[in-house]
Amino acid sequence: MEEEIIETSVANCWRIDPGINVIIFKAGAEAELSDVEENFAALKQLNKGEPSPLFLDITKLKYMDRDARTYSARKEATTDVQALAILIGSPVGKMLGGFFLGLNKPPYPTKLFTVKEEAIAWLKGFVE
């Protein structure tokens, strides 16, 4: 079966087995509120009504504005996220991840990783 990839203005989104969604930000992406809303709409399409763990790769993300970060942690906006693993790879990524976790307090388990395989292994624990 062919993998469904949804390209948004700032990222590519798809689903991997065993039921984990993936969002990888494009190189140099500068995410604003409308971009994050577009990413969550892609998640809704991939999930088909069931929340799933999410692997979020922000290693190439250049910037995410405050409104986008705040929206990403709002309970009503995140009904499609069961748990979140954020892959960071740079001081900027670490800063963005830290801001997100420290200031926005997501309503689901969230953890920062520097190794993709460790992040995916952690998310597999949330797959039913």
- Bridge partners, residue 54, by sequence: 21, 84
Q: Decide if 1 is inside a domain.
A: no
Contacts of 107 (CB under 8 A, 6+ apart): 73, 75, 78
Total structural domains within the chain = 1
The pTM of this model reads 0.88
Q: Decide if 27 is inside a domain.
A: yes
pLDDT above 70 (res 2):
no
Q: Decide if 103 is inside a domain.
A: yes
pLDDT of res. 96? 67
Read off the pLDDT of residues 63-92 as tens digits, 9 standing for 90 and up. Answer: 888 898 888 877 777 788 899 999 988 666
**Structural domain for 29, as ranges:** 6-121
CA distance 120 to 113: 10
pLDDT of res. 103? 65
CATH code for position 31: 3.30.750.24
Residue pointed to by tokens 């307090």: 105
Which residue in 45, 46, 34 sits closest to 72, CA to CA?
A: 34
In 3-state terms, what secondary structure has residue 4?
coil
